[in-house]
């Protein structure tokens, strides 16, 4: 694809790709979006901001309701390792989750409806801080979102594992409930040669990690899916000193809110057991959590049938994934769905080499424009 023949929204994506910013610091990104919107004919647009986010309502011709489309805005703390001429200009940050693609697609759809209005109002929600600390829940409660509260809300996410021209989703849970897990154990340090005068938190931490493995295998229905991963342990200072402290960091993922609740209860019981058994003090912190992305069954089924009937994209009904997505907080209150859009890249999401196929931008703009146009005129 030569530079002169770039679709305007590919060009926009490349500009956004160069300025990745972390959650609630999307200052240049917000400026870029507001400048773009300011250059559109103003008669049909109402614009509001919330923190670093942007809400843009395209007024319908005879609105009965508001339908919303959401795009996330933040980049990730990753050093980009591609050789692309438009690679990140912000050292240490990269759009490695495709949110630059999501924003470019949303602007493409929005631009279409500014020039070709339909019956209902369409609200475009540019949401900050998807990757953390979590923008969806506070944005859902924000004044502009409440003022323009939509009747339904939709979103997409790029999928490196599917080729361009493929979309995938499912009715019901698409993404997991996720929770961080931080456990701190405090005992009594001492000389390695006098274990009886100390209280070793390396031993306590090893027991706890082993016990945590039993939660999924012994406490969760085998027909339900759940993950507990301890990804990091820190303990001790030196080989001949008994460790006074140990810190475990991990993540919990489930496909139902109920399983998440039960798993947390079991973890709390095991941690209390370690405290009693090893005579130490423990603190437990769940950090950030995301609720599941629970696609509305009726709307999702209707969308799948609609997309299949069009025949211009391959439609896959995919299994749920153990990844989390902030969009779940919108779906907790408002019916809608999220779908994957193929961008055929050998490098996955959150990879420093992610290089999505940009032809997916026009595929997505066409598909989403047709879908929202259909829903907003029906």
- Rule CB under 5 A: which residues touch Zn ion? 97
Active site residue 180: no
Q: Is 90 annotated as a binding residue?
A: no
Token pair of 49, please?
């901001």
Cα–Cα separations (whole angstroms), residue 4 to 8, 15, 104, 136, 300? 10, 15, 18, 37, 38
Q: Is 116 annotated as a binding residue?
A: no
CB of residue 43 to Zn ion, shortest distance in Å: 33
Q: 171: closest CA among 375, 315, 281, 277?
A: 315
In terms of CB distance, is 105 or 280 closer to Zn ion? 105
Token pair of 336, please?
């809608």
Active site residue 265: no
In terms of CB distance, is 97 or 280 closer to Zn ion? 97
Show the DSSP H helices in the chain as ranges: 8-17, 27-38, 99-115, 136-140, 143-147, 201-214, 257-278, 297-310, 328-331, 359-377
Q: Is 350 annotated as a binding residue?
A: yes
Q: Is 99 annotated as a binding residue?
A: yes
Of 26, 121, 131, 294, the active-site residue reads: 131
In terms of CB distance, is 57 or 102 closer to Zn ion? 102
Burial class (CB in 10 A: 0-12, 13-18, 19+), 338: buried
Token pair of 46, please?
């109402």
CB of residue 36 to Zn ion, shortest distance in Å: 21
Q: Is 81 annotated as a binding residue?
A: no
Of 21, 26, 72, 200, the active-site residue reads: 72
CB atoms < 10 A from the CB of 214, how many? 12
Q: What angle do CA 369, 370, 375 make, to 5 degrees?
A: 100
3-state secondary structure of 71: strand
Which position's Cβ is nearest Zn ion?
97
Question: Who's near 352: CB < 8 A, 6+ residues apart?
Answer: 78, 79, 80, 81, 82, 94, 96
- Supply the DSSP symbol for 160: T
**In angstroms, rounded to a whole number, what is the distance separating the alpha carbons of residues 164 and 54?**
28
In terms of CB distance, is 97 or 167 closer to Zn ion? 97
The residue to which tokens 């938190």 are assigned: 201
In terms of CB distance, is 97 or 338 closer to Zn ion? 97
**In angstroms, rounded to a whole number, what is the distance separating the alpha carbons of residues 162 and 357?**
11
Token pair of 372, please?
């929202």
In terms of CB distance, is 12 or 97 closer to Zn ion? 97
Q: Which residues fall in the annotated binding site?
A: 97, 99, 131, 157, 350
Q: Which residues are catalytic?
A: 72, 131
Q: Which residues fall in the annotated binding site for Mn(2+)?
A: 97, 99, 131, 157, 350
């Amino acid at each position: 694809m030569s530079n002169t023949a770039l679709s305007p929204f590919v060009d926009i994506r490349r500009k956004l790709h160069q300025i990745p910013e972390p959650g609630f610091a999307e200052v240049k990104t917000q400026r870029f979006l507001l400048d773009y919107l300011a250059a559109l004919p103003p008669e049909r647009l109402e614009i509001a901001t919330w923190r670093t986010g942007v809400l843009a309502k395209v007024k319908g011709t005879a609105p009965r309701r508001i339908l919303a489309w959401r795009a996330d805005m933040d980049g990730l703390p990753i050093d980009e390792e591609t050789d692309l001429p438009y690679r990140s200009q912000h050292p240490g940050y990269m759009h490695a989750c495709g949110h630059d693609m999501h924003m470019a697609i949303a602007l493409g759809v929005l631009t279409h409806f500014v020039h070709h209005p339909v019956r209902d109002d369409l609200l475009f929600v540019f949401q900050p801080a998807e990757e953390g600390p979590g923008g969806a829940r506070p944005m859902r409660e924000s004044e502009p979102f409440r003022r323009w509260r939509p009747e339904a809300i939709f979103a997409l996410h790029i999928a490196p594992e599917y080729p361009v021209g493929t979309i995938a989703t499912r009715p019901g849970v698409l993404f997991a409930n996720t929770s961080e897990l931080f456990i701190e154990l405090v005992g009594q340090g001492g000389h390695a040669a006098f274990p009886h005068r100390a209280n070793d938190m390396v031993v306590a931490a090893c027991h706890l990690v082993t016990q945590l493995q039993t939660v999924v295998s012994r406490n969760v229905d085998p027909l339900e899916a759940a993950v507990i991963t301890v990804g990091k342990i820190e303990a001790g200072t030196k080989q001949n000193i008994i460790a006074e402290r140990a810190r475990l960091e991990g993540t919990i993922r489930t496909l139902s809110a109920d399983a998440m609740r039960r798993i947390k209860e079991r973890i709390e019981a095991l941690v209390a057991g370690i405290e009693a058994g090893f005579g130490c003090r423990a603190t437990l912190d769940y950090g950030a959590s995301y609720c599941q992305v629970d696609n509305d069954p009726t709307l999702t089924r209707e969308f799948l049938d609609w997309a299949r009937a069009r025949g211009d994209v391959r439609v896959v009904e995919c299994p749920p994934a153990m990844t989390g997505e902030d969009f779940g907080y919108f779906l907790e209150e408002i019916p809608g769905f999220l779908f994957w859009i193929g961008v055929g890249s050998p490098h996955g999401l959150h990879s420093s080499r992610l290089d999505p196929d940009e032809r997916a931008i026009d595929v997505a703009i066409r598909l989403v424009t047709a879908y929202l146009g259909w829903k907003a005129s029906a």
